[in-house]
Homo-oligomer: A and B are copies of this chain.
């Protein structure tokens, strides 16, 4: 009886299957401390209890992406231990603020299965949900991953590709943002005079600064999230692999880009949703990450006059400043691009 976790292979999944993931996690204020040390995040709402309370939060909430990474980490042993590639995200919604002292757990439902024509792998579509200890949902999102089959001869366990929204609609945003007192939102303390009104669709912002990543940093981050994907930690094995290096967790890149985006988007205090994201190329230790953003669109939230939503596309690069907004080069990406993320943020009006 082998007691180690072999992970699921493609033929092990079933459409509609629900998987309860291991290791619930009590989120303490120390997570915000370490998250700040890893990325240098400076959004006032997540940094200061009095600032957060003045505008309507119970206290400073945990950074949205820390919540995402912690929920994501729990899904890895069951969903992607045998994954070849993480292909995409969709319909990621933040549904409640997470405060220190609360406990998160996660479960996933298999919502799509599609064998690849080589019959060696298949694509698994999964909707993962993060729960608070009282059962309230704090986050859900869809991702799809290419997973190896244990046995090529095994029949495909299903054949269904779910319909996923290209972007969440404005009425799906804002559940994790309490009603805010915009008058109490102090733009000097927040670090920028530019509220929602100041941004226009089509506007591009170079976030200017660069951040070099060290092995110890991304390993500590990924373990902080209790993410066990092997490619991030094991130089002995990865040294013999395709890249010869440990791969940095894609979510680490998202958090770096988000922290860099403070310079130009300081009042975008909350990520309300992630419409989609692509890890265009891998990041390795020693590389320096830069980022820029484009405002894809603006939307008021139905029934709310306190906050408005910006739909952003944030592109991260490695070893390439973004003053000229690198993105596509014809059919392909600029070779320096590592992340292309489409998401909604909220800003005070």
Query: Residues on A close to B: CB < 8 A?
Result: 1, 3-5, 20, 22-26, 28-34, 36-40, 42-44, 47-51, 60, 77, 103, 105, 133, 188-192, 194, 198-199, 205-212, 214-217, 219-224, 226, 228, 230, 233-237, 246, 263-266, 286, 288, 290, 319, 321
Q: Measured between C-beta atoms, what is the minimum distance from A268 to chain B in Å?
A: 11
Partner pick for A3 among B190, B194, B223, B237, CB 8 A cutoff: B194
Q: A26-B47, A212-B236 are in contact. List 7 more A-B contacts (CB 8 A).
A: A22-B42, A37-B220, A209-B233, A212-B235, A214-B215, A216-B216, A217-B220
Interface pairs (16), CB distance under 8 Å = A3-B198, A4-B207, A20-B189, A22-B44, A22-B188, A22-B191, A24-B48, A26-B60, A28-B33, A42-B226, A51-B103, A212-B234, A217-B219, A235-B288, A236-B319, A236-B321
For chain A, what secondary structure do more than half of its interface residues adopt (helix, strand, loop), or is it mixed?
A: mixed
Task: Please indicate the chain B residues that have their CB under 8 angstroms from the CB of A5 in the complex.
Answer: 191-192, 263
CA distance A210 to B229 in the complex (A): 11
Task: Please indicate the chain B residues that have their CB under 8 angstroms from the CB of A190 in the complex.
Answer: 22-23
CA distance A206 to B5 in the complex (A): 11
CA distance A34 to B223 in the complex (A): 10
CA distance A1 to B204 in the complex (A): 10
- Contacts A5-B263, A319-B236 given: A49-B37 contact, CB under 8 Å? no
| A209 B228 Cβ-Cβ under 8 A | yes
Partner pick for A235 among B32, B189, B207, B286, CB 8 A cutoff: B286
Q: Measured between C-beta atoms, what is the minimum distance from A180 to chain B in Å?
A: 17
The 5 closest A-B pairs by CB, nearest first: A30-B30, A22-B191, A40-B223, A30-B33, A236-B288
| A50 B26 Cβ-Cβ under 8 A | yes
Q: Measured between C-beta atoms, what is the minimum distance from A132 to chain B in Å?
A: 10
| B36 A33 Cβ-Cβ under 8 A | no
| A212 B246 Cβ-Cβ under 8 A | yes
| B4 A205 Cβ-Cβ under 8 A | yes
CA distance A217 to B223 in the complex (A): 12
| B264 A4 Cβ-Cβ under 8 A | yes
- Contacts A36-B224, A217-B216 given: A25-B47 contact, CB under 8 Å? yes
Q: Measured between C-beta atoms, what is the minimum distance from A187 to chain B in Å?
A: 9
| B226 A219 Cβ-Cβ under 8 A | no
| B191 A210 Cβ-Cβ under 8 A | no
Partner pick for A24 among B47, B209, B214, B220, CB 8 A cutoff: B47
Task: Please indicate the chain B residues that have their CB under 8 angstroms from the CB of A191 in the complex.
Answer: 5, 22-23, 77
CA distance A305 to B26 in the complex (A): 28
Task: Please indicate the chain B residues that have their CB under 8 angstroms from the CB of A43 in the complex.
Answer: 23
CA distance A119 to B47 in the complex (A): 39
| A198 B4 Cβ-Cβ under 8 A | no
Residue of B nearest to A218 (CB): B216
- Contacts A26-B47, A216-B215, A228-B40 given: A192-B3 contact, CB under 8 Å? yes
Q: Measured between C-beta atoms, what is the minimum distance from A184 to chain B in Å?
A: 13
Residue of B nearest to A24 (CB): B48
| B212 A230 Cβ-Cβ under 8 A | no
| A224 B319 Cβ-Cβ under 8 A | no
Q: Measured between C-beta atoms, what is the minimum distance from A213 to chain B in Å?
A: 9
CA distance A144 to B177 in the complex (A): 41
Q: Measured between C-beta atoms, what is the minimum distance from A271 to chain B in Å?
A: 18
